[in-house]
Structure 1
Amino acid sequence: MNQSNISVLDLPDEILLIILKKLDNMDVLYSLLDVDNRQLNIIAQENIFTNTLNFVLTTFTNDISSMSDAIIDRFCKNILPRIHYNVKSLIVDSLSMERILLAVDYPNLTELKLFNFNGKIASCYFTDEGPFKHTFLRQITDLILVFENYIHKTLGHYSTDLCEYIMKFFRNLKHLSFIGSSRFSFPTLLYRNLSSTTFSSSILNKLRIRVVKYADCLAILDGRFKQLRSLIVDIIYMTYHSSNVYNMDDLPNLKCFSLTTTSDCCIDTYNHISLLVRRMINLEELTLYLTICMGTAFIDGTNIYNEILVHVPQLHIFNFCICIGTMKSLVYQLSKYDIQNTFPKTIYKEVDCMVQYKYRYAICHVFSLPFMFDYIGCIGNTFPNVIFNHVRRLMISDSVPFKHEFFIRIAWSFPLLEHLRVINMESQSLLSNKLKSNDNQLDSIVKYPHLTWLEFDFVDIDYVEQFLNETKIHLPCLRKLTVNYRYLSIVTKNFTRYITRRNCMKVNELDIGQEIIQRSKDFDVYFPVLQTCVCFD
């Protein structure tokens, strides 16, 4: 055979399938299912391409949108009628959900992931009068609800009722997840005052949820979900009163438990969490993210082993980040290596830590690697040479100045950073001298390609200069800026300075420390797409 005449269609089905598996399955279906070629049509209808259909697009800045009307129309008219029997999972946006679900029957559909969800969607479709009653009522076993970016502020008042209703309406539900498209669109639920029969299920085995207080987590684990095997809970406030009484029986069915919070808790709450984990006698996977304030000592490997690990012998996956603050006088002689030596590799896998001494206060982070969380706070000048691939939100704080090299390291270690909060009142003396020398470019430009929110909180003006000056740092996706208005005016020379203009051009939300009496023309030119300008005081 003349090799120059070989086309992709001459390849064996097995080779074609390997090639097509590397492509997005929606692209395969859209491009090949209507092609006048029997071989490609048969391959495109394989289960690997048709079991899960994702009609949602995610942008570079993690915004969510539906596919175009033309693409959805073609799927509904030409593609879904040929593959609907294979579809087991649908990922849809609330705006296009009805068209897609009404296009055909889905006899084998068991999983639904719905983006831009809100209470109105529930009242329209999660009812006995809704058009999808049969599918939702009997078929759906896995329901993932991703709430819209700006949930109505009253949602919190009825979200608990909504959960209860969902549990009753979806009669075969085994997995329920509430997710926020951003941290601020995540609804919070209250269970601590509800009876164990109000929100319960005898078949639910996986729950992902966000609650207001630690007591709500205890209420979920009071026996109302007998078959629960996996609980992923994010908690807003870690305040806990021991006067609250909950069922404290063992939880033998629970195999996976994740508790995360960015709220400070006291050492007593940490001790109570240790007791909670001990009830999970068959636990196999544990995730903890905790910040403890005013402790009497650092939390180290010996403490974690004695208080938690020795009581869960079947545990084989342990992801954690525990930050504790205490008085420097209590732990002053302890170094990073002293802490690391308490994590023997015979018990723990890879672990790293950071120790900071600030004025009279000391802060210690201990965490497993690879780092699996999307947030870490109180990072100072000394942090390990580790790439934190999952971190999207970061707070940096120290009592000594941050130099330009520090921000180079931050960009390298946190490549997907989206929200950065800066706290440092110490002046960058070298940078201040450069500012006085006609903006000489002496350092390499640092790029934060994903940063959409930059927050200055208790900072020296040098850091505003550092970030807005495009000869120092490039912020191509900056959308939200939180900064003192006086600092902003000085650094931008009343919104006329050229080298600080580009990093401000795409800002559409500006939080400032005082009200602008009258916006100047230069201000409006500096922020041409500004939609919101608010005072944060």
Structure 2
Amino acid sequence: MERILLAGNYPNLAALELINFEQKKVFHYFTDNSVFRHIFQSQITDLVLHNNDEYFKKMRLDIYTRNVYLHIFSLFKNLKHLTTVSASLSDYPYFLLCNLPPTTCYSSSLTVLCINVYEFQDCLCLLDGRLKQLSTFIVQIHYIFNMKSINLNKGELHNLKCFSLTSYDLIMNYDDLVVPLFRRMTHLEKLTLYFRILHRNAFVDGTHLQNEILAHMPQLHTFTFYISTQEVIFSSFPRKSNSDIERTFTNIRYGQTACIIDSFNGDHKAICHVYSLPFTFTRLETITTHFPFIVFDTVTILSAYDMIPMQHEFFMRISQAFPMLNQSLKCDEWKSDKNSSYSIIEYPHLMSLDVMYADIDYIAQFLLETKTHLPRLTQLKVDYYQLKTVTMNFTRDTIRRNCSKINRLIVKVPTVFSKDVYQYFPSL
């Protein structure tokens, strides 16, 4: 970028997209002393950052926010569109705003914002009036939970026309926290929702969505969604079928919908997945062995969970039902059926595999070349001691092929790898 921008004058330059953006580039380019300050301050209206910094649990997000996000809001005076996306398989550091002064990140020009925030409070802060012209807000929220009480503007959002909310973590206060936000969006025209609800005493269905959310958005014309309600105990209310849930969507005028009720734990609990058609999202969480065989050709990230032994046929169904699976496959608390009858299953696009909490036999199921072929696997999350057992102290030849391209090995407890590990994983 430096060579290009210094090579000449660009009076019409208004948009800037940075690949592999990192915090250190802020200190070099996005300060008042930057040689490009005049371009950034007066010309750039559209900024897209492919953030290559990686979030980790003990990270000081308040410091990162001050060092990165606040510099951007301060320097780019005429910014209208700001988009931040991840440049890798990992999440980039979240925007943490709720503990900062209310004048922070003020902008009278920003109309489009796409960003990941740490908690629900940060989302509310960005909608408290400091971004007066905001018309499109695309936000991914890391955690949605009970928050401390602070004084925020909770009036109607008259300028907001397009809103997208994504949260992959389970939400336990959906009715108290999330629903009131939607009711402020009285002029919304396009709504996209992806979230998962835990411990609610009833499934989210079409009746709830219409009465509690959509009825408050008279100008809405596009509604795209995936919502799951998880771990509902059937004894607390009448059991409902797929057809029962689907009938509640009959009067919703935003297109076709579908419902899947997936039971587990001896049918005492269930997950109800409701979503608009066609399914457009890239992530699907917590499917079980009861999940019907339906092709989801947009899903690249998948997690599976069950307490009963998995049959080899289920792994085959996953590979067929999710043909574009590439970023991550996560398997939790699986127990092996020790079935020795199998054919080789291929996941041709899968780059990341998470078997950190899976039964040891399923680690072998995925890594043995006689059972599974993973030609593009580059990241593995696994318990180190189970990996050591499965690989026979990193000597088992029938696992080497699927491990040959792994350049990132993530284990539960930080470990200094031995020479044998590096020889077994030559791409580390």
TM-score scaled by length of structure 2: 0.90
Indicate if the aligned counterparts of 1:144 and 1:176 stay in contact, CA closer than 8 A.
yes
Amino acid at match of 1:528: P
Match of 1:319 in 2: 224
Distance 1:114 1:219 in 2: 26
Q: Could you give the per-residue CA deviations for residues 365-424 of structure 1, whole angstroms, max 9, x where no partner exists?
A: 212222233322101123344433333321101123322222222222323322111124
Matches within 5 A, 1:246-261: 246-261=152-167
Inter-CA distance 495–239: structure 2 relative to 1 (3 Å threshold) = same
Is structure 2 residue 393 aligned with structure 1 residue 528?
Answer: no
CA radius of gyration, larger in: 1
Q: What secondary structure, in the 3-state scheme, does the structure 1 residue paired with 2:426 have?
A: coil
- What RMSD over aligned residues (CA atoms) do the two structures have, in Å? 2.5
- Give me the identity figure in percent: 43
For residue 116 of structure 2, what is the aligned residue in structure 1? 210
In 2, are the aligned partners of 1:240 and 1:269 still within 8 Å (CA)?
Answer: no
- Does 1:422 find its partner at 2:331? yes
Equivalent position amino acid for 2:314 in 1 = F
1:262 aligns with 2:153: no
SS of residue matched to 1:274: helix
1:488 aligns with 2:396: no
Letter in 1 for 2:39: T
Residue in 2 that maps onto 1:101: 5
| Residue 298 of structure 2 is aligned to residue 399 of structure 1 | no
Q: Which has the higher contact order (CA 8 A, sep 6+)?
A: 2
Call closer, same or farther: CA 1:160–1:371 in 2, change over 3 Å: farther
- Within 5 Å, which residues of 2 pair with 1:298-317? 298-317=203-222
**Distance in 2 of aligned mates of 1:517 and 1:105:** 51
**Where do residues 203-242 of structure 1 align in structure 2 (5 Å cutoff)?**
203-241=109-147
Distance 1:194 1:513 in 2: 33
1:88-237 correspondence runs (5 A): 97-150=1-54, 153=59, 156-160=62-66, 162-182=68-88, 184-237=90-143
Change (3 A) 1:519 1:132: closer
Shift of 1:217: 0.8
Q: Secondary structure at the match of 1:157?
A: helix
Contact preservation (8 Å) 1:145, 1:177: yes
**Aligned residue number for residue 362 of structure 1:** 270
Deviation at 1:264, TM superposition (A): 1.7
> Would you say the 8 A contact 2:161–2:190 is kept in 1?
yes
Aligned residue number for residue 360 of structure 2:
461
Distance in 2, matches of 1:356 and 1:167, equals 45
Q: What are the ranges of 5 or more consecutive residues in structure 1 without an aligned counterpart? A: 1-96, 435-441, 531-537
Q: 1:84 is matched with which residue?
A: none
Secondary structure of the residue aligned to 1:184 is coil
Query: Given the superposition, is the C-alpha separation of residues 113 and 516 from structure 1 closer, same or farther in structure 2, using an over 3 Å criterion?
Result: closer
Is this contact kept in 2: 1:146–1:180, CA < 8 A? Answer: yes
* 189-198 vs 390-399, greater mean Cα deviation: 189-198
The structure where helix makes up a greater share of residues is: 1
CA contact (8 A) 1:401 1:424 kept: no
On the 8 A contact 1:231/1:256 being kept in 2, the answer is: yes
Matched, 1:390 2:307: no
**Is the CA contact (8 Å cut-off) linking 2:157 and 2:186 kept in structure 1?**
yes
Gaps of 5+ in 2: none
Mapping of residues 367-386 of structure 1, within 5 Å: 367-386=275-294
Aligned to 1:501, what secondary structure does the other structure show? Answer: helix
- Structure 1 window deviating more from structure 2 (481-490 vs 109-118): it is 481-490
For the residues of structure 1 that align with 2:404 and 2:332, how far apart are their CA atoms?
24
Q: TM-score, normalised by structure 1?
A: 0.73
